[in-house]
Amino acid sequence: MNDNQLLRYSRHILLDELGIEGQQRLLSAHALVIGAGGLGSPVALYLGTAGVGRITLVDNDTVDLTNLQRQIAHDMSRIDQAKAASAAQSINEINPEVSVVALQERADAQRLDALVAAADVVVDCCDNFATRHAVNAACVKHGKPLVSGAAIGFDGQISVYDTRQAESPCYACIFPPDAAFEEVRCATMGVLAPLVGIIGSMQAAEAIKLLTGAGSSLAGRLQMLDARAMEWTEIRTPRSADCSVCASRNS
């Protein structure tokens, strides 16, 4: 690290759990962020400010006025601009040393196969089950840790799915692909603005911990927040022996 980096990241370096070695791991790391909206905004900004050396942002949407209530990576000047490019600009305005690749596209299974393989950690900030399952399948295939978050209304959830650990479930162990989950969107249900900031910030923290080896991750634990009462509930999530995605890989 040069003198400017030592100064920029000094508050990380002062942490015993990180130090110079941990910060160097961040500088050498590659994070893949799926979605640059409500959750993706704080994830992208915090990974960028933390000094993650390369960040790939994937989002096929553009900035809309209704997004600005909660999607803090964007502003009025970016309306109609691609969200991935807008978030990349925000990162670079804070930390120009970070290499950001902005992809305005939908992350389908074929594309994810290549993107996930090249990443050190994957952060899922999308808003639909189909993409979540495609991201999870690619992470299981390539043995990459996945930080998954969701937020709608006043309810949020976060967990880490890391099948490098024998007992850790994948996303499909907890939310099977063939299960009938009701899919709701912010456009119809609404979402409390700071809720995505809470969950997204936690996703960024989990990604940083995974990249540096600091602390212990949320693998095997699903945390759920009821922001009406600001109460957290945690449940243990074991790996499913008959999971259609990860069972054969981990057997």
Beta bridge partner(s), residue 155 = 152, 226
186 is a catalytic site residue = yes
Judge contact between 216 and 144, C-beta under 8 A. no
Give the pairing type, strands 121-124 and 146-152. parallel
Whole-number Å distance between alpha carbons of 226 and 243: 28
Angle at 188 between CA 203 and CA 80, to 5 degrees: 70
Asked whether the beta carbons of 205 and 18 are under 8 A apart, the reply is: no
Catalytic residue among 139, 186, 243, 246: 186
Q: Report the length, in residues, of the chain.
A: 251
Handedness of CA 81, 83, 88, 93 (dihedral sign): positive
- Could you tell me the end-to-end alpha-carbon distance of the chain, in angstroms, rounded to an integer? 42
Q: Strands 99-103, 54-58: parallel, antiparallel or unpaired by DSSP?
A: parallel
Q: Which residues are catalytic?
A: 186
